[in-house]
Amino acid sequence: MTDQPSLSFFARLWLALVCFWRIWLDRSFAQAVLPVRQADIAGRLPAGAPVESAPAPAPAPVPAPVPPPVVAVPPEREHASALQLLAMLQREGRLIDFLQEDVAAFPDEDVGAAARIVHEGCRKLVRQYFTLEAVLPQGEGERVQVPAGFDAQRIRLTGNVAGQPPYSGALKHHGWVATALTLPSPSPAMDPRVLAPAEVELS
């Protein structure tokens, strides 16, 4: 039914997020997506389209023109955005260096010094590209009401979960939600697998 690698739920969630914001913020990207959307409506989506979402009107009487062979996108291209984010966390905050090192072998002082570098860089990056807000505005420790019909994605119940909403409980973690995302678009000229180039200093 499809020539494309199947997309996991999380891959689709990521793609939806990225596409949503890029369509919103990047006119040229939106223009590139438009033909796909139109083809989708017209039921002419090339291989990869789920059949049930575009019921074929009638079997083609003549051998349909062979759709251009869809080249399977290699995984690193499919997840280019994720790799790019990792590369940026390394570039700005040395995150990969930090995670790849054995922390246990070093005293807390050294870990603390390194953490400052990672913290400063990654924080700058997160602030620049993501707008983060708490899911619930109340202070942690305060009592909050959870109404009936609450969004179970946004609020997770813990402890003695019983009975029917509305619930009343203590806010343990205010949660995080990204309200805006402005990642740069990955360049086709670059291999997204390279998270950081090796540096060779010439003398």
Partner 1 sequence: MARYAIGIDLGTTHSAVSYLNLEEGKPRGPAQSMLPIPQVTAPGTVEARPLLPSFLYLPSAQEFPPGSLALPWNPNATHFAGEFARTHGAKVPTRLVASAKSWLSHPGVDRRAALLPWQAPEEVQRVSPVEASTRYLRHLREAWDHTFARAREEAGNAMAAQDVIITVPASFDAAARDLTLEAAKAAGLDNPLLLEEPQAALYAWLEAQGESFRKSMRVGEVILVVDVGGGTTDFSLITVRDRAGEVELTRVAVGDHILLGGDNMDLALAHTLQQRLTAEGKKLDAWQFNALTHGCRTAKETLYGNAAFTHAPLAIASRGSSLLGGTIRTELTREELDRVLTEGFFPTTPLTEMPRLARRTGLAQMALPYAQDAAVTRHLAAFLTRQAQALASSPDSPVDVGGKAFIHPTAVLFNGGVFKAGPLKARVMEVLNAWLAADGGQPARELEGADLDLAVARGAAYYGWVRQGHGLRIRGGTARAYFVGVETAMPAVPGMEPPVKGLCVAPFGMEEGTQADVPPQEFGLVTGEPTRFRFFASSVRRDDKVGAFVDDVEGNPEFEELAPVETTLPGTPAPYGDLTPVNLQAAVTEVGTLELRCLEKNGPGRWKLELNVRMKE
Closest CA to 168 of 148, 185, 152, 146: 146
Label the pairing between strands 167-170 and 143-146. Answer: antiparallel
Shortest Cβ distance from residue 94 to partner 1 (Å)? 5
Question: Which of residues 32 and 103 has its CB atom nearest to partner 1 in the complex?
Answer: 103
Residue 108 binding partner 1, by CB under 8 A: no
Select from 13, 51, 103, 177 the one that contacts partner 1 (CB under 8 A).
103
Task: Please say whether the beta carbons of 52 and 150 come within 8 A.
Answer: no
The structure tokens listed for 156 are: 């997770």
Rounded distance, CA 169 to CA 154, Å? 15
Residue 32 binding partner 1, by CB under 8 A: no
Within the chain, strands assigned E span 130-133, 143-146, 167-170, 177-181
**Among the residue ranges 44-52, 64-72, 106-114, 171-179, the one whose residues contact partner 1 (CB under 8 A):** 106-114
Select from 13, 47, 67, 110 the one that contacts partner 1 (CB under 8 A).
110
Residue 98 binding partner 1, by CB under 8 A: yes
Select from 1, 148, 189, 200 the one that contacts partner 1 (CB under 8 A).
189
- Give the DSSP letter of residue 136: S
Which helix H or strand E contains 141, and what residues bound it?
none
Residue 187 binding partner 1, by CB under 8 A: yes
State the CB neighbour count (10 A cutoff) for residue 88: 19
Rounded distance, CA 131 to CA 123, Å? 12
Rounded distance, CA 181 to CA 105, Å? 37
Tell me the number of residues near partner 1 by CB under 8 A.
28
**Among the residue ranges 44-52, 134-142, 165-173, 188-196, the one whose residues contact partner 1 (CB under 8 A):** 188-196
Residue 24 binding partner 1, by CB under 8 A: no
**Among the residue ranges 34-42, 55-63, 93-101, 148-156, the one whose residues contact partner 1 (CB under 8 A):** 93-101
Residues that bind partner 1 (CB under 8 A): 84, 88, 91, 94, 97-98, 100-101, 103, 105-106, 109-111, 113-114, 116-118, 120, 184, 186-190, 199, 201
